Amino acid sequence: MAKDITYILVFLGVLMLLALPLGHYMAQVFTGRRTFMSFIIRPFESGLYRLCRVNENEEMSWKQYSLAFLLFNAVGFMVLFLLQIVQGRLPLNPMGFGSVRWDTALNTAISFVTNTNWQAYGGETTMSYLTQMVGLTVQNFVSAAVGMAVALPLIRAFTSKLRNTIGNFWVDMTRSVLYVLLPLSIILAMLLVSQGVVQTFAPSVKAQTIEGTEQVIAVGPVASQVAIKELGSNGGGFFNANSSHPFENPTPFSNFLEMLAILLIPAALPFTFGIMVKNRRQGWAIFAAMMILFLVGLGAAFWAEWQGNPILAQSGLGSSTNMEGKEVRFGIGPSVLWGQVTTVTSNGSVNAMHDSMMPLTGLVFMFNMAIGEVIFGGVGVGLIGMLMYAILAIFLAGLMIGRTPEFLGKKLEAREMIMAVIAVIAPAMASLIFAGIAVAIPTGLSSLNNPGPHGLSEILYAFFSAAGNNGSAFAGLNANTVFYNLATGFVMLVGRSATILPALAIAGSLAMKKSVPSSSATFPTASPLFTVLLIGVVLIVGALTFFPALILGPFLEHLLIFAGRTF
Amino acid sequence: MEKTTPKFWQSKLIKTSIKGSFLRLDPRLLWHNPVMFVVEIVSVITSLISVSNLIYGGPFLFNIHISIWLWFTVLFANFAEALAEGRGKAQAETLRRAQSEAYAKRLLANGQTETIPALSLRKNDMVVVEDNDPIPGDGEIVEGVALVDESAVTGESAPVIREAKGDRTGVTGGTRVLSGRIKVTITANPGETFLDHMISMVESATRQKTPNERALEILLVGLTVLFIVVVGTLAPFGVYTGVKITLPVLVALLVCLMPTTIGGLLPAIGIAGMDRLIQHNVIALSGRAVEAAGDVNVVLLDKTGTITLGNRMATDFIPAAGIKNEELVEAALFASLADETPEGRSIVALAKYRLDRRGRDIKPSPEAKFIPFTAELRMSGISWNGREIRKGAADAVAKFVQERGGVIPESVTAAVDRVAREGGTPLVVVDSTRALGVIYLKDVLKEGIKERLSQLRLLGIHSIMITGDNPLTAAAIAAEAGIDDFVAQARPEEKLKLIRKYQAEGNLVAMIGDGTNDAPALAQADVAVAMNAGTQASREAANMVDLDSNPTKLLDIVEIGKQILMTRGALTTFSVANDVAKYFAIIPAIFVPFFPMLGILNVMRLSTPNSAILSAIIFNAIIIPLLIPLSLRGITYRPMTAMALLWRNLVIYGIGGLILPFIGIKLIDLLIVFLHLA
């Protein structure tokens, strides 16, 4: 226990040490100032603009920005979909994989474009190297970059006055890739290779086992994909076993690095926000809300795991500690920490099977995703999601002090409320509705491997994961069916667009507003009270929305386990 | 002011409100309130289920119980709205009664007059109003002067002067001319007067929702839709788990989770805010402005009449070197005896007090000649027996003395300078060539204005005084009153510039005005209060009219604006916080029969599943009427900083809202068991 706590403290300490300067660096990048990287990257950047005929000083209205976002994703989707369909006839396919099934291809295309990286397929047995690299890895970069880019208009809107433009989508995205994602993933890939992560174009290796049978060992360009899958909140592994696979995550150090990479950008963005809105304390207030929610969830998960499984104890195993589904290489601490890190950030890569965690741990993980991935959340979109909750919190707080609510000097009115409400409830509703459908129809139930509340948890987990654009799965559900591919695909689209488009609309309307000077009558949003209120709103909205579902799924399973029943 | 406040539990009002709550069940009316509209729909569904259970068999009694309480939920909400509307209308009607029964003398083209009912007057009609006539409608005096009794509208018994040409030309229908003859152009058609406007603001059918109300409603609708999904998907999750949940139980859960408390009281809160304004004798012409009043961060206040009493008052006498104080005071008294200006009267009063002659009347000798104040002379006084006592502005008096070969001594000049430096107005008193001393005239602050201004500061509102005085005087008064900023030697046109400047910085500006030259500034201000006695132009440019013509009203309006928003916020928080307890009542009630271990969620130890569900739905219904007084009165408001206010409201309505239903539901459950209802 003490070891686990020390591990966590060291982890969070290193995270803070890296996130603060990164937040600062990103603020410089996104406000167009020179950074120490500019001398290398700037020529590429301006070259790219010239090549694509983008005028980097031209700003877009929120509608143009949204259109650019939709267009870019539509093209990305089409390319990725077609690539999977025709991969059999394309090069870099040493294993000779054929065309991917249409519904799987559709689901995968949506999944990678929306930065979800839900994988209905096994990577090493389905996708050619070309698909992995040109399709999936490219989307890993650009979908993350899109997520970061779309957060910027909202941030900028707080400081712009009476403007009808919110920035340039192409510039925001290019900068996210060139200045942030690319350098960081090169560094990370190098470090991972040093730890023994595979990076090769050679086909799978065949080995003779001791029993004399032949074993196929899948390899490939793994390190490069793993780096960006962690940094960009993607989570789609090269291998089906994701980061519990020794070629993706060979050592405790690589494990530490990968977790760090998952949280790094999401944890740095609140600081970027604070600097860009010229109110650093505001950045800290949001960061604090995220961190406290993170720690509360982590505490609950650890409590559940340390408590162990009474059935294991009864069966005479000596220890009730539940190691099933966890990598013995990592043990309880890093496995639970990884689970918490990956579910709060919409990353979705795993180093243990969440399905096998204690039910209450599963409940925490589900809650993290169900509330919309706002505890740090995915790169960019996590901050957006938290700001949407902040708008709700400030609306209530503003009313309670007798003023039209205002956030950083901008008045929150009907338009902001519509958009914030949509952003908060639409993904939640989509996940509940489709989970409801899935348990009501035979097609949905036939994918289940476990009956009872555990089965319900599997289905709920799948849809919460899709709605939160997380992508991790509670193994045990065969999601590669037409129904689940289409249903989760739709929910992923809702989860992504119902967060980003309302945020852009709010950015458009905030940018048009005047800024109200603050006074003693203004609710100080850069304060501990704000942090408390924000945490309260996230928890209350989440609890009220998911109480019945989570009670019938993981909570009931927990009670039944302690009553001696298994599923 | 009290006269227009109907008793809260007036039986007639209650009767019409009860009737109104049933009339409002009409879906065409109810859909204005989406939350309650949904409750009505599900009430119909459960009622139908109950009836069909009665016919075809099924759990009738429990379902009809639920249905009844669902209907009560809607009725209670309707009652709140009807009550608020009824109170507002009752107040407006008392104002209107006088108006509608009146007759008017309309001026015809040939100069004759005809007598017609006031209600048939149209805009731009010209009417003549003479002694003891009621004024038939809102209008503007074009000719003549009259003494008007406005007590029917303002409750103020002292009559006021209203005259053509000037800043006091406005008259209100329902008031009465005591003496004088005036010609009035009618400025509003019947049904379009301020009163009519106000009535439509409290009438729920015609009422426009304010921007903030709409924003809040979006949140409530969002929550409603979300909970429909939550409860709707609970059905398949239940089936999967092996529990079939009946529709009435699902409906009960839905209605408990939906923000019915705030949804039901929301219209009443807005209407009651208008009612409170009317109680303060303010007629709001737009709900938006009332809300904006809560956001105001800059107020422009005219010095005269708002911060200071209208006039300067004598506060001290400073004798010249070698002159006895008594001589100066006596001379000042004589010089002011015939001076009917308020300044003059205040000098007389102070002098009599100083000379201790309150009881005796001082009469000047009969041959004395009074010199009235004129703009040319800029002094006034009295002459008799060759004595020429004068008082007036220092330079004018100096000229007077010099013409007679005298000189103003150093001590007087010094006193003049001192008084001016302190923000007062010095009047020099001379007796022919002898300068006797200086009368210290000072602006006197209105009672309580300092406290009001310091409250404004707590609210984060920046107060700015506008005055025609010189900067020195202005600064002294500003410092004394505790005002944040002032604009001295301001001409009326500068108000507009000033408002624009503050608005450009993002501020919301409130001002109060009466004159025609205030109209542009009023039109520009976010919250513009015109005085009822002011000109028609100023009233049209404003978005609120103060019937009492009392400039300090602005502060009341700000408080009412804030109170409306706070009441909404507090009840929303309360409503949402309530949901937690309801989950803990209903979810175990549904599932414990199948999974006894879920009994640990039954933290209230409610007796049976049916009683648990009923208790929750009953609590949900009766909390609405219990909160009606609060929503009509508005939550208690004290000026304090935003942080303190938020903490206070969060604790009371957030934490309180979390805990109270646990207790309430438990008590209702005990009662249900006691009465054997379920």
Which residue in B125, B133, B302, B546 is the catalytic one? Answer: B302
pLDDT digits (tens, 9 = 90+) for A217-267: 777 778 888 888 888 888 877 777 788 888 888 888 888 999 999 999 999
Chain B: residue whose CA lies nearest to A563: B597
> Rounded distance, CA A339 to CA A137, Å?
23
A vs B, Cβ pairs < 8 A, gives 203
Listed as ranges, residues in chain B with pLDDT below 50 are 1-6, 359
- CB A351 within 8 Å of CB A249: yes
With a CB cutoff of 8 Å and minimum separation 6, the contacts of A151 are: A269, A380, A381, A383, A384, A503
**What average pLDDT does the segment A442-448 reach?**
88
Tokens of A542: 């989440």
With a CB cutoff of 8 Å and minimum separation 6, the contacts of A494 are: A426, A427, A430, A467
Q: CA quadruple B262, A501, A383, A372: dihedral positive or negative?
A: positive
Residue type, B147: L
> Rounded distance, CA A318 to CA A298, Å?
26
- Give the pLDDT confidence score for residue B372 in this predicted structure: 78
Instruction: Note the ipTM here.
Output: 0.93
With a CB cutoff of 8 Å and minimum separation 6, the contacts of B236 are: A436, A437, A439, A440
> Rounded distance, CA A27 to CA A273, Å?
7
Tokens of B96: 């209107």
- Give the pLDDT confidence score for residue B98 in this predicted structure: 55
Lowest average pLDDT, out of A55-69, A491-505, B607-621, B636-650, goes to B636-650
- Alpha carbons within 13 A on the beta-carbon side of B330: 9
- CB B455 within 8 Å of CB B448: no
Interface contact B241, partner A, CB < 8 A: yes
> Rounded distance, CA B357 to CA B594, Å?
96
- pTM higher than 0.80: yes
pLDDT digits (tens, 9 = 90+) for A121-180: 776 778 888 888 788 888 888 999 999 999 999 999 999 888 899 999 999 999 999 999
Picking from A428, A435, A520, the nearest residue to B642 by CB comes out as A520
Q: Which residues of A touch B598 (CB under 8 A)?
A: 551, 556, 559
pLDDT digits (tens, 9 = 90+) for A527-544: 899 999 999 999 999 999
Q: Which residues of B touch A559 (CB under 8 A)?
A: 595, 597-598, 600
Interface contact B594, partner A, CB < 8 A: no
Picking from A400, A413, A544, the nearest residue to B570 by CB comes out as A400
- Give the pLDDT confidence score for residue B3 in this predicted structure: 41
Q: How many CB atoms lie within 10 A of CB A405?
A: 29
Interface contact B643, partner A, CB < 8 A: yes
> Rounded distance, CA B531 to CA B553, Å?
10
Chain A: residue whose CA lies nearest to B504: A514
Domain regions of chain A by residue span: 1-180+263-567
> Rounded distance, CA A6 to CA B495, Å?
65
- CB B389 within 8 Å of CB B335: yes
Contact A398 B569 (CB under 8 A): yes
Q: Which residues of B touch A428 (CB under 8 A)?
A: 226, 229
> Rounded distance, CA A403 to CA B560, Å?
11
- Give the pLDDT confidence score for residue B220 in this predicted structure: 95
- Give the pLDDT confidence score for residue B195 in this predicted structure: 67
Interface contact B291, partner A, CB < 8 A: yes
- Give the pLDDT confidence score for residue B4 in this predicted structure: 43
Picking from B241, B457, B565, the nearest residue to A399 by CB comes out as B565
> Rounded distance, CA A431 to CA A545, Å?
11
Distance from CA of A522 to the nearest CA of B (A): 6
Q: Which residues of B touch A414 (CB under 8 A)?
A: 211, 214-215, 218
Active site residue B302: yes
To 5 degrees, how large is the angle CA A73–CA A186–CA A352? 75
Picking from A404, A524, A562, the nearest residue to B212 by CB comes out as A404
Distance from CA of A546 to the nearest CA of B (A): 7
Tokens of B129: 């109003």
- Give the pLDDT confidence score for residue B6 in this predicted structure: 47
Contact A425 B583 (CB under 8 A): no
Interface contact B641, partner A, CB < 8 A: yes
Picking from A413, A529, A544, the nearest residue to B211 by CB comes out as A413
Distance from CA of B255 to the nearest CA of A (A): 13
Tokens of B232: 């709707």
